[in-house]
Chain A
């Protein structure tokens, strides 16, 4: 079964601190992996997309890494801000399909 597992389930950090979120997947064959940010009650917004050949990609204070051999990805958030409080969802696209497999997300709370 194609799955995407994320950890931790939730995380509280102080404003200004860094954090790293993890994603493991079994989706195969692999096409690309995305990280989305979803504010409560809103639609997900794309942060990064990485294909098999990419092992890191940055978007401002967000840096995603991908190890396609171990099927692991991480999302590192630098100098967190209160507005970073949201759910961060790891999403994997299976090769040959345009549909997406979502993880359950990591709920991040940035505290002042």
Chain B
């Protein structure tokens, strides 16, 4: 079992560009959550996907959007990038039954 995987590992973008981050959940998990973690801060919840629908959303603007595919993998899209979007983006998956969420290694996004 590969656990939660994310790609790419690192990414550098310019202000105003768009970015897509990808996540594959742990085997058997059908729920994927995305978090943004700024340097020195705890992760902040962006949104959660279940059965290809956005189930819950945190306090993030519409520039942040997502998608879940039939195989439960997920994408996070960010449009019109701002310098403040620079952060570690974490994906976590759960089976929706247990309390446990498993985190991926994250994607480090740098906006210049």
Chain A residues close to B by CB (< 8 Å): 4, 31-32, 34, 36, 41-46, 49, 51, 89, 93, 97-105
Write out, one digit per residue, whether chain B residues 41-71 have a CB within 8 A of any chain A CB (1) or not (0): 1111100100000011010000000000000
Provide a sorted-by-A list of 14 A–B residue pairs whose CB atoms are within 8 angstroms.
Answer: A41-B88, A41-B106, A43-B4, A43-B92, A44-B103, A46-B102, A49-B99, A97-B56, A98-B48, A99-B48, A101-B45, A102-B42, A104-B42, A105-B42
Residues of A within 8 A of B90 (CB): 43-44
Residues of A within 8 A of B100 (CB): 46, 49
Q: How many chain B residues have a CB neighbour from A under 8 Å?
A: 28
Besides A43-B4, A101-B45, 6 other CB < 8 A contacts? Answer: A46-B100, A46-B101, A98-B55, A104-B40, A104-B41, A105-B42
Q: Is the CB of A98 within 8 A of B31?
A: yes
Q: Is the CB of A102 within 8 A of B106?
A: no
Q: Which residue of B41, B56, B105 is within 8 Å of A99 (Cβ)?
A: B56
Residues of B within 8 A of A105 (CB): 42
Residues of A within 8 A of B35 (CB): 102
Residues of A within 8 A of B16 (CB): none
Q: Is the CB of B99 within 8 A of A103?
A: no
Write out, one digit per residue, whether chain B residues 20-54 have a CB within 8 A of any chain A CB (1) or not (0): 00000000000101010000111111001000000
- Interface residue B96 (Cβ < 8 Å from any Cβ of A): yes
Residues of A within 8 A of B96 (CB): 98
Chain B residues close to A by CB (< 8 Å): 4, 31, 33, 35, 40-45, 48, 55-56, 58, 88, 90, 92, 94, 96, 99-106, 108
Please, how many angstroms separate the alpha-carbon atoms of A97 and B12 in the complex? 34
Please, how many angstroms separate the alpha-carbon atoms of A44 and B35 in the complex? 11
Known contacts A32-B99, A98-B94, A99-B56; is A43 also within 8 Å of B41 by CB?
no
Of chain B, the residue at the smallest CB distance from A103 is B42
Chain B nearest CB from A94 CB (Å) reads: 11
Of chain B, the residue at the smallest CB distance from A51 is B99
Q: Is the CB of B56 within 8 A of A89?
A: no
